[in-house]
Amino acid sequence: MNSMDNTIKERLLAAYAAQQSRTYYAAWPESPRAYAEDGMARGLAVFQALLTQNFTALSQTGSDGWVGEEVSPYMMTGLGIQYPEFSAATLIQQAKDAQQVWGKTSVDQRAAVLLDALDRVAVKFFDIAYATMHTTGQSFMMSFQASGPHANDRAMEVLSMAYHELNRFPASVDWVKNMGKFDLQLKKNYKAVPKGIALVIGCSTFPTWNTVPGLFGSMMTGNASIVKPHPKSVLPIAMVVAEMQAALRAAGYPETVVQLGVDTLANPITKELAENEAVKLIDYTGGSAFGDYIETLTGKTVFTEKAGVNSVILQGATDPTAVFGNLAFAASLYSGQMCTAPQNVFVSADGIDTAEGKMSFDDVVAGIAQAVKGLAENPKMGAGTLGAIQNDITTQRVKSVEAAAGSSVVLASMAIENPEFPDARTASSAVIAVDAVDIAQWKHECFGPIVFVVKTNSHDHSLALAKECAASLGAITCSCYSNDESFMTKVEDEINAAFTPVSFNFGGAAFVNQHAAFSDFHVTGGNPSGNASFTDAQYVNRRFVWVGNRRMA
């Protein structure tokens, strides 16, 4: 290996070592200050130059025209960016052709190309941040971190895990078995054979962070890939794919090892791609209904992240005000449009334990509502924390839930003025107090800025409801606030039995929404919220098959 190869290997081994230790590690710093001083200005200029133009950075041929229907949730105007449109048949055929080359490319060469791609993406972090902001409604800081260094870290996590697994067994061995008067000698080799063409189906709220793990997992294991983004959030992942194609081209490989397949809401191509017999791998992020369909497809290896209902078990708190503030931020961050955001806060009818005695259920509800309202109306934090609503369906859902709740609404959702973008589509979190028996209100996913405070019979009842929700509806996160060690042990055991992780007594800068690459597993794959977890070994091992060959020495 030359010096560059050694550097690449060292970076991969360091990332894998971080996964093994589970301690803090970041391959790319998360602060914008760690990058070019003029990065924000240049990124904004790049984004503005793309508006109302054809996106020509992709290296793909055979398009049938141009499509694009993205709308900025901040400006409430169409971006006007058009992307080359390809038929499903064209994408599949070009992937088949590229697969013939990529599937036979060595593990080290694949790793070098994909790590180069991540380095190229890092140069574009500010560009991608503005693209994410104006397609998803995330704030600039969240857009920069989630679609930039955090996404790159998740991709690196999968890349290094796959590199380790692909090198788990020797490429060849001389096998000798003594047969008494002679030795039986065989030469054996072992190959990690890629399964075939991979399809990655993106979502509208996190078009990069949720897409790159599966994409890099499939490509590192030798599978040519097609990225099918959500029609309303194309630009961020289009920029990433363009840089990946540039890395492939620079290394002498077909750019179509990875392709972008853009469609429209009116004329989708997702099912046609997913059902094609040549597609062997599918990564999906999105709603449960379509995710359930993806999981029924035969002859495919499928990795899904779907909807869930995340719970909070509030049993006790030394500082209730701090707890309410933490919950308010977790529920309000990006207006609750995160798969990890809390929805149901379970509180016993007789209240919670505090350092000063019992706090009543009504006072808990009032405290949560006051914290949510205070955050939303904070002139320095409100607009930046909430961001904007990606889809008007979410706004309508909030109104519908509030109408159905009637007098149970403790705090109605409010439109919060964004001084930088007066036309931004915004909504603060609604807080609704309900009784546990009113399952029609709270026992289903209400994606967006909606918090239910559910009155239960006891703390154990709260735990039972949270567990049952996780098991039947799925959950990606669960929070518990308690000063009772025996109760916390019970919560951990019971919620873990529903294959859901628990975060205890989070406060300060720790929020349940946030999962750290190299340390936190995102989704467990054990409940209805999804069937896969990034990143564990199964996330990469299921993308290829070990095959051993033997010949007489």
pLDDT in tens, 47-61: 999 999 999 999 999
What is the percent of the chain with per-residue pLDDT over 70, rounded to a whole number?
99
Contacting residues for 176 by C-beta, under 8 A, at least 6 apart: 183, 184, 185, 186
The model's pLDDT over 226-275, given as tens digits with 9 standing for 90+, comes to 999 999 999 999 999 999 999 999 999 999 999 999 999 999 999 999 99
CA 246 to chain centre: 24
User: Would the pLDDT of 2 be above 50?
Assistant: no
The answer to whether the CB of 199 falls within 8 A of the CB of 228 is yes
| Mean of pLDDT over the chain | 96
Give the DSSP letter of residue 78: B
User: Would the pLDDT of 35 be above 80?
Assistant: yes
For the record, the structure tokens of 47 come out as: 């984004």
Q: How far is Cα 126 from Cα 145, in angstroms, rounded to an integer?
A: 10
The model's pLDDT over 339-374, given as tens digits with 9 standing for 90+, comes to 999 999 999 999 999 988 999 999 999 999 999 999
The model's pLDDT over 289-298, given as tens digits with 9 standing for 90+, comes to 999 999 999 9
Nearest CA among 395, 517, 513, 500 for reference residue 446: 395
What is the percent of the chain with per-residue pLDDT over 90, rounded to a whole number?
98
User: Would the pLDDT of 535 be above 60?
Assistant: yes
Domains of the chain: 3-306+532-552 (3.40.605.10), 311-504 (3.40.309.10)
Q: What is the pLDDT of residue 5?
A: 81
For residue 107, the tally of other CB atoms under 10 A from its CB is 17
User: Would the pLDDT of 1 be above 70?
Assistant: no
The model's pLDDT over 10-28, given as tens digits with 9 standing for 90+, comes to 999 999 999 999 999 999 9
User: Would the pLDDT of 6 be above 90?
Assistant: no
pTM of the shown model: 0.96
Q: How far is Cα 464 from Cα 471, in angstroms, rounded to an integer?
A: 11
Question: What number is the average pLDDT over the span 32-50?
Answer: 97
Taken in order 132, 133, 137, 143, the sign of the CA dihedral is: positive
419 HSE (CA, 13 A, CB side): 7
CA 95 to chain centre: 25
Nearest CA among 142, 148, 152 for reference residue 126: 148
Q: How far is Cα 475 from Cα 388, in angstroms, rounded to an integer?
A: 24
Looking at this protein, which amino acid is placed at residue 65?
A: G
Question: What number is the average pLDDT over the span 455-468?
Answer: 98
User: Residue 317, SS3?
Assistant: strand
